[in-house]
Amino acid sequence: MLTFICKKLKYLNIDEPTYNNILFTKLLQNNTITSLKFKFYIYNSEAIELLAEFLYKNTTLTSLNISDNELSFKELEALIKALYTNITLNLSFNSLGPKFGKVLAKALCKNTTLTSLSLSDNRLGSEGIEALSKCLHTNITLNSLNVGYNQIGLRGIKVLSEALYLNVTLTFLNLSGNGLEFSHSKGGKAMAEFLCKNSTLTSLSIQGNQLSSEGTEAIAEALCKNTVLTTLNLGCNQIGPKRIKALAKALYVNTTLISLSISFN
């Protein structure tokens, strides 16, 4: 029965790790699956090897979610090298670190299909985000990127902003919770400069970044010039009444923003 199901399967959500080896072995015979979600822990190297083999041979999978699995660097490296056809990839909550950012960047430079990538809560740091940023210079398929809560700091924000000046496909960017460096105002100003120059991004989240007065005011000024952004999340930034007024003035001028979140400020 399991063999029959796997041959016809298109969507698979594995919540129970007990039968991993059996399932991945059967998946090697499958040529119809398009979406695979593995939400919990993979406990043995054999299961990883089988999954990597499946990803390497498979030509139909377009969506892979292996978030919140606490996979090791070595395990994830094996899986990433096997990815060729994915359209959406979710690797959030795996504590990958900067080194993995470099490995993923190399894979992305070769990938021509990925449109959505989620890497939140992975401790990429400025080093990891810098490696990814270099790939964004030339990537022409990615339109959604989530790098929230990665401790990328001021340097990471600057490098990413510079990369996105040249990127013409990204429309969604999540930079939430990336920063103590934002309290120095330079991070907010870097994002403001980016908003003035970028012509493709329609949705941006920079909540929980401790924006300074100068940073918030710079973003408000940028909103007066930006003509493409439709959604902006500035929640949890301790903005306060004075800076809210600056944003309000900007909204009189801005004609494209339709959704603004300033909750918990």
Query: Which of 60-64, 96-100, 222-226 has the highest mean predicted lDDT (pLDDT)?
Result: 222-226
pLDDT 10s digits, 145-179: 999 999 998 888 889 988 888 888 999 999 999 87
Two tokens, residue 157: 């924000």
**Higher-scoring residue by pLDDT: 25, 148:** 148
What pLDDT, on a 0 to 100 scale, did the predictor assign at position 1? 44
What pLDDT, on a 0 to 100 scale, did the predictor assign at position 19? 59
Whether 37 contacts 65, CB under 8 Å: yes
| Backbone torsions φ then ψ of 57, nearest 5 degrees | -85, -25
pLDDT (mean) for 23-46: 75
Query: Mean pLDDT for the chain?
Result: 85
pLDDT (mean) for 5-32: 73
Q: Among 20-24, 98-102, 105-109, 118-122, which stretch is predicted with the lowest mean pLDDT?
A: 20-24
Q: Give the 3-state secondary structure of residue 204.
A: strand
Q: Among 45-49, 173-177, 202-206, which stretch is predicted with the lowest mean pLDDT?
A: 45-49
What pLDDT, on a 0 to 100 scale, did the predictor assign at position 40? 55
Whether 237 contacts 243, CB under 8 Å: no
What is the distance of C-alpha 254 from the center of its chain?
27
**Higher-scoring residue by pLDDT: 135, 223:** 223
Sign of CA dihedral 205, 85, 110, 83: positive
Two tokens, residue 52: 């990597």
Long-range interactions of 240-243: CB distance < 8 A, separation 24+ = 240/265, 242/213, 243/211, 243/213, 243/216, 243/217
Q: Give the 3-state secondary structure of residue 233.
A: strand
What pLDDT, on a 0 to 100 scale, did the predictor assign at position 183? 46
Q: Provide CATH code, domain 179-265.
A: 3.80.10.10
Q: How far apart are CA 45 and CA 43, in angstroms?
A: 7
Percentage of the residues of the chain whose pLDDT score is greater than 70: 90
What pLDDT, on a 0 to 100 scale, did the predictor assign at position 263? 92
Kindly calculate the radius of gyration of the chain based on its CA atoms and give it in whole angstroms. Answer: 20
Q: C-alpha distances in angstroms, 212 versus 100, 155, 237, 242?
A: 31, 17, 8, 12
Residue for token pair 């490296």: 77
**Higher-scoring residue by pLDDT: 125, 166:** 125
